[in-house]
Every structure is written in C-alpha cells, then in structure tokens.
C-alpha cells in the first residue's frame, strides 16, 4: 500500500514534468539542426565557482567514460537494482571499457556499494534520494558533473537507469548526456522541418553564446532530473509488485502452517482419545 501510494504520487509529478522535458529537448534539437551548436568555442576563463556551460559542447577523443548509475538505497524492489547493474556492466563490456576507463557517478547506495566492491572509481556518490525527487536535489549533482566534464575527468557521459513502462514492466536505458551534439540528440520533433525542405536558421539576441549559456544547463538538468523521476517511478512500481508478491507468499505460508497445525492438533486429539478408550477398556 505504501509503495503503491508513492507510485501514484510520483506518476502525477512525472507526467507533468515530461511535457517540459520534451519541449526543452525539442528546442536543443532544433538548435542543433540549425547548426547553432557547431563551432562554438568555450571561453578559456570563467569566474571562480561558476560552470562553463559551453564546455558541454566540447568533442574530445574519448579516454574515459563517465556513467551515472541510478539505483535504490534499499532492497525489497524485486529485480530493479539487479537489472540496472547487469545492463550497465553489459554497456561497459560492449564498449570494451576496463575499470581504468570508467568513472562511476552513483545515485543510490546499492549501485555505489556494488561498484566499490569491484574496484571501480566512484567519483561522485549521492544517497537517500527522495521518494519524489525535487529539482533542488538535482542541481548540485548536475553542477558537480559539469565541473568534472569541464576539467576532463571524463570525456563522455551516459545516464543508466530503468525506464518505467507500466506497473509490471520496466526497460533499461543508457542515454548519452555529454557532450551535447546533433548526433546524440537525434531528430525528435524535426519531422515537419525535414519534410518541408527548408534549412533551419535562427536570429539570436543578444548572442548565440548567451542563449546557449542559459539553455544548455537547463537541458542537462532536465535530462538528469527526468531520468531520476523515471527511475524512481520504476523503483516504486517494482517495490509495489515485490511487496504484493511477498504478501501473497506470506499468506500461502500461513495457510500451509495452519493446515499443518490443524493436522497435528487433530492427530494429538485422536491419540488422546485412543489412549483414553484403551485405558477404559483395560479397566473393564
């Protein structure tokens, strides 16, 4: 009941947020299609403590790969954690990465503990994510990730989590978050433009760099926040299913034990009656 209540609560929140996330992705996709993201150079210096947003567009030769792995802090969630971890390990193996080539950003204690035990480098760890994550929780995480990417801690970043399909089904997703490019954005929302045969162009005010400095962090925050909401929705659904199965199994065990108890009690009563009858017959 608790897990189902949390699931209903986060689904309402996720449904409304997905509209915003879809719109911000479409804006970035259109800007990429108009080549506004091409040949943008990040400033060499930024104010201390500030994040260089334009660094998110930097294409570098990949020496290290960052993985944001979103798992739960607790168990009793069925196959939720095991599926995320298994598919993440498959992703690492598929890309021929070794432990030295991967930097793990662990959101959730289960994933953090798993990769720590196996000798992976955990560059960032966040535990006790809320049942319905707030946007305020995500901002410092995104800020830390952008700082690490800017300082070349890793050269590309993927977000690994379970996508909620329905209350019984979830699928693994490994989405590239950084660097932002037209290739990893895809062509969502561009079908009408492509069919028209016209090239996309934008007039920007005050400048292209100023526009990108505002919208790129919003896109990164929306992608990571959306992934956390999606992952938490899947977690609550898995928890609800697991708890329902556990309750059903407990009922079956109780019913079986009651049957055994009644049989044992009946056998004991029958034995006592037999002994009393035998003793009475002996006295006669």
For residue 129, is pLDDT > 70? yes
Tokens of 64: 């290290």
Pick from 89, 125, 74: which is nearest to 242 by CA? 74
Rounded Cα–Cα distance for residues 165 and 171 (Å): 7
- Indicate the CATH number of 2-240 among 3.40.190.10, 3.50.50.60, 3.40.50.300, 3.40.1380.10: 3.40.1380.10
At residue 7, the pLDDT reads 78
Q: How far apart are CA 254 and CA 5, in angstroms?
A: 26
Asked if pLDDT for residue 270 goes beyond 70, the answer is yes
Considering only CA atoms, which of 223, 178, 161, 216 is closest in space to residue 65? 178
Share of the chain above pLDDT 70, in %: 86
Domain chopping of the chain, boundaries: 2-240
Instruction: Please tell me the least confidently modeled range out of 70-84, 107-121, 141-155, 232-246.
Output: 232-246
pLDDT in tens, 173-195: 888 888 887 676 665 544 444 44
pLDDT in tens, 30-41: 777 776 666 656
pLDDT at residue 2 in the model = 78
Which position has the token pair 């925050």?
221
Give how far Cα 242 sits from Cα of 79, 102, 183, 261, 280, Å: 9, 32, 39, 28, 57
Among 65-69, 145-149, 202-206, 213-217, which stretch is predicted with the lowest mean pLDDT?
Answer: 202-206
- Decide which of 50 and 206 is more confident: 206
Residue 49: phi and psi, rounded to 5, are: 90, -10
| pLDDT tens-digit map of 59-108 | 888 888 999 999 988 878 888 889 999 999 998 888 777 888 899 999 99
Q: What is the pLDDT of residue 35?
A: 67
Within the chain, strands assigned E span: 65-70, 102-107, 121-126, 156-166, 169-178
Q: pLDDT band at residue 170, thresholds of 50, 70 and 90?
A: confident
Tokens 């060499």 — which residue?
A: 44
- At residue 172, the 3 state secondary structure works out as strand
Please state, in angstroms and rounded to a whole number, the distance separating the CA atoms of residues 194 and 239: 43
pTM of the model: 0.76
Alpha-carbon torsion (240, 244, 250, 253), positive or negative? negative
pLDDT given for residue 189 in this prediction: 47
């Amino acid at each position: 009941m608790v897990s189902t209540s949390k699931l209903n609560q986060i689904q309402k929140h996720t449904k409304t947020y997905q509209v915003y996330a879809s719109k911000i992705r479409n804006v970035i996709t259109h800007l990429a299609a108009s080549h506004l993201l091409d040949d943008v150079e990040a400033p060499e210096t930024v104010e201390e403590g500030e994040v260089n947003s334009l660094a998110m567009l930097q294409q570098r030769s990949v020496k290290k790969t960052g993985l944001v792995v979103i798992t739960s802090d607790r168990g009793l969630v069925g196959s939720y954690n095991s599926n995320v971890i298994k598919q993440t390990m498959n992703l690492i193996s598929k890309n021929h990465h070794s432990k030295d080539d991967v930097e793990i950003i662990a959101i959730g204690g289960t994933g953090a503990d798993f990769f720590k035990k196996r000798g992976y480098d955990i560059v960032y760890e966040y535990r006790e994510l809320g049942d319905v994550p707030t946007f305020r929780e995500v901002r410092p995480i995104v800020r830390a990730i952008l700082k690490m990417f800017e300082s070349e801690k890793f050269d590309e970043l993927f977000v690994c989590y379970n996508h909620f399909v329905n209350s019984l089904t979830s699928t693994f997703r490994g989405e590239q978050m950084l660097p932002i490019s037209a290739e990893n954005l895809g062509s969502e929302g561009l079908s009408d433009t492509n069919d028209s045969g016209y090239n996309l162009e934008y007039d920007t005010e005050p400048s292209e760099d100023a526009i990108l400095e505002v919208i790129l962090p919003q896109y990164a925050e929306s992608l990571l926040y959306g992934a956390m909401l999606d992952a938490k929705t899947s977690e609550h659904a898995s928890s609800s299913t697991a708890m329902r199965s556990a309750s059903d199994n407990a009922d079956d065990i109780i019913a079986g034990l009651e049957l055994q108890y009644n049989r044992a009690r009946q056998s004991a009563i029958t034995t006592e009656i037999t002994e009393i009858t035998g003793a009475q017959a002996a006295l006669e």
